[in-house]
Amino acid sequence: MDIEGIAASNAAIRKALTIEATFWNDEDEHRRYEIVEEYRLDELFEVAGAEARGQVIGCRDAICKFLQARFRDVAQGLQYAVRRIDDLEILSQIIKNMYTACSLEEIETVVVGVAHESR
């Protein structure tokens, strides 16, 4: 059965097809729809971007708090280097590897190594 046959036997489908035809034939209505859809997509991308920035900031903060708690002011230079990293994957890799490091030098090696590997 083709779409016209289905529409002929179902009032709801017939109504939906009529609305769709009206929509595609009305340029103003079609343009309004496109504007609303563009706005909705922009909003989704903005939210996704904000979430990603929030995750980066959270990872940076976690690493820096760890460094401050474990090594105090001696780790300030490394904290500065970590705060300049914008890549969530790099930050996640640093977090994954830093807990097994026994010294500040080992953590520096982790930070520099992970950042260098990603290039």
Q: What is the DSSP string of 41-105?
A: HHHHHHHHHHHHHHHHHHHHHHHHHHHHHHHGGGGHHHHHHHHT---HHHHHHHHHHHTT--SHH
At 1 the pLDDT is 60
Claim: this prediction has a pTM higher than 0.85:
no
At 114 the pLDDT is 78
At 94 the pLDDT is 93
Q: Which residues fall within 8 angstroms of residue 109, CB to CB, at 6 or more apart?
A: 101
Q: Which residue has the tokens 């890549």?
A: 87
At 99 the pLDDT is 84
At 6 the pLDDT is 78
At 91 the pLDDT is 95
Residue ranges of the chain with per-residue pLDDT less than 70: 1, 115, 118-119
